[in-house]
Amino acid sequence: MKTSDFYFDLPKELIAQDPLEDRSASRLLVLDKATGQTEHHVFKEIVNYLNPGDCLVINDTKVIPARLFGSKVGTDAKIEILLLKRREGDVWETLVKPGKKAKPGTRISFGDGLLMGEVLEVAEEGNRLIRFTYEGIFEEILDRLGQMPLPPYITHQLKDKNRYQTVYAKHDGSAAAPTAGLHFTPELLDKIKEKGVNIAHVTLHVGLGTFRPVKVEDVTEHHMHSEFYGVEEDQAELINRTKASGKRIICVGTTSCRTVESASDENGVLHAGSGWTDIFIYPGYRFKVLDALITNFHLPESTLLMLVSALAGKENIEKAYAEAVRERYRFFSFGDAMLIV
């Protein structure tokens, strides 16, 4: 299986640059994975595709304002840092631009010294381990100085930080939003609950591996970056009970999908707990927990496109994406949605 097998031509103007004012007003392409048939709807109509007793699984991670702009102490050279994951205490693994200005021992000042960082070492793939020092609470300082780490294909400035956050975001830790969840409003979630659909919360802190291109031609040789996940006992019980009753598990986003698939055994039983996952789902994978998926439209040759192809079949996805391009759907993080049933 080749990476180039997952290429498709996407006109640049279809890459959504701004979120819609009404989250639930996005378009929704519904794909039947058994027949390949498609339907076109508005996202808020998704409630019509959910049945009483089904379980919607959402990822309640919260995006941190992880992009920081500072200057190198002693030279005033400008340095940009992206927080990837907390290693321990105040030591973070980061992506630094330009990397050549961030050798071990380099000190960086942010916000006129409100936050200071020292490069400890060069880690995997050129990432830097940085120890931060500050007075007060790190999260509050980050909220003051940091910017939302929008994907590289979004060039517009985000006017409201909360629009790159789901309405149910709870646990700080992501370097990117679980974007399928951006379409939900509190009102829509209430309607879903009123219909008798259960909602389960899991957590997966999304890393930048989400946006990393697949650089190998043989898909199976691609190495996924690990991300931290957690599943609470009562949420695992809810999901297992739903499966046992013959109802569906519908994951909101590839991150929720990867969490439940990582935390389940070969019999499809989900286990509570936390840890790191580098699960890579591509065609040939047998899904153990997930039955249906709500997701956005993904980049050509990306691991996420491979995941949806594993679920719906590569040919069905190719046809659905070609139709989405023809119908001028909006793509990627702030774009429209797809429901695979």
> By the 8 A CB rule, do 272 and 299 touch?
no
> By the 8 A CB rule, do 14 and 330 touch?
yes
pLDDT digits (tens, 9 = 90+) for 138-151: 999 999 999 998 88
Reply yes or no on whether the pLDDT at 212 is more than 80. Answer: no
Q: Up-side HSE of residue 72: CA atoms within 13 Å toward CB?
A: 17
pLDDT digits (tens, 9 = 90+) for 93-117: 999 998 888 899 999 999 999 999 9
Which residue's structure tokens are 């200057």? Answer: 71
Residues in the chain: 341
Nearest Cα neighbor of 295 from 67, 5, 18, 33 is 33
How far lies 125's CA from each of 91, 168, 211, 212, 225, in Å?
Answer: 17, 33, 15, 12, 11
Per-residue pLDDT band at 6 (split at 50, 70, 90): very high
**What's residue 211's pLDDT?**
65
Please list, in sequence order, all residues whose beta carbon lies within 8 angstroms of the beta carbon of residue 27, skipping any fewer than 6 positions away: 40, 41, 42, 43, 329, 330, 336, 337
- Kindly report the pTM of this predicted structure: 0.91
**What's residue 210's pLDDT?**
67
- Phi/psi of residue 160, each to 5°? -125, 115
**What's residue 264's pLDDT?**
97
Reply yes or no on whether the pLDDT at 209 is more than 90. Answer: no
Nearest Cα neighbor of 130 from 174, 171, 82 is 82
- Give the mean model confidence (pLDDT) for residues 225-231: 93
- Phi/psi of residue 254, each to 5°? -65, -25
Mean pLDDT of the chain: 94
> By the 8 A CB rule, do 137 and 107 touch?
no
pLDDT digits (tens, 9 = 90+) for 67-91: 999 999 988 799 999 998 888 999 9
pLDDT digits (tens, 9 = 90+) for 269-289: 999 999 999 999 999 999 999
**Strand ranges of the sheet holding 273-277, from the earlier edge strand across to the other edge:** 38-42, 27-31, 337-340, 292-296, 249-252, 55-59, 198-204, 227-231, 273-277
Which residue's structure tokens are 């702009």? Answer: 69
Between CA 2 and CA 37 the distance in angstroms is 26
> By the 8 A CB rule, do 166 and 185 touch?
no
- Give the mean model confidence (pLDDT) for residues 38-55: 98
- Phi/psi of residue 325, each to 5°? -65, -45
Nearest Cα neighbor of 270 from 200, 170, 325 is 200
